[in-house]
């Protein structure tokens, strides 16, 4: 059972370049999330999706775009990379809000993608 798979694990970008971080889950989860973690900080929500075709902004969406064409995939796009986007990015998925009633709404995280913008 793969869970949540993120690629690439590491990437170095030059300022102004663009790239896409890939995320796929095989648990048939409805909800998917992108977080970033800066040194000494908690995880900040960038974007999330409650189902295919539906996305919404989180706490720190500027400089990023997402799409959700399938239940399984939730790519994160950086259009014009900036040094402030140097971070570790985590994708996560869950069954969704209603599952919280039964205590089943648990976020499952990928292993992370470390991005450096120089």
Give the nearer residue to other proteins in terms of CB position, either 17 or 27: 27
Shortest distance, CB of residue 50 to other proteins, whole angstroms?
7
| 44 contacts 33 by C-beta, under 8 angstroms | no
Per-residue CA distances from 15 to 46, 52, 65, 84 (Å): 20, 31, 17, 10
Among 12, 15, 106, 118, binds other proteins (CB under 8 A): 106
What is the Cα 64 distance to its own chain's centre? 10
Give the nearer residue to other proteins in terms of CB position, either 85 or 94: 94
Strands, sheet with 4-7, edge to edge from the N-terminal-most edge strand: 4-7, 19-25, 76-78, 64-66
> x/- site string to other proteins, residues 17 to 36, per CB under 8 A?
--------------x-x-x-
Give the nearer residue to other proteins in terms of CB position, either 18 or 116: 116
Among 54, 59, 84, 116, binds other proteins (CB under 8 A): 59
Per-residue CA distances from 69 to 54, 74, 86, 115 (Å): 9, 8, 27, 24
Rule CB under 8 A: which residues touch other proteins?
A: 4, 31, 33, 35, 40-45, 48, 50, 58-59, 90, 92, 94, 96-101, 103, 105-112
């Amino acid at each position: 059972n793969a869970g949540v798979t993120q690629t690439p694990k590491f990437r170095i970008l030059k300022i102004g370049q663009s790239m896409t971080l890939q995320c796929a889950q095989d648990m048939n989860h409805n909800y998917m999330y992108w977080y970033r973690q800066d040194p000494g900080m908690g995880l900040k929500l960038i974007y999330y999706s409650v189902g295919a075709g539906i996305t919404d902004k989180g706490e720190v969406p500027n400089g990023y775009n997402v799409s959700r064409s399938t239940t399984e995939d939730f790519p994160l796009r950086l259009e014009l990379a900036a040094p402030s986007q140097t971070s570790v990015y985590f994708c996560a998925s869950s069954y969704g809000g209603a599952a919280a009633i039964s205590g089943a709404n648990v976020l499952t995280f990928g292993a992370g993608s470390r991005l450096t913008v120089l």
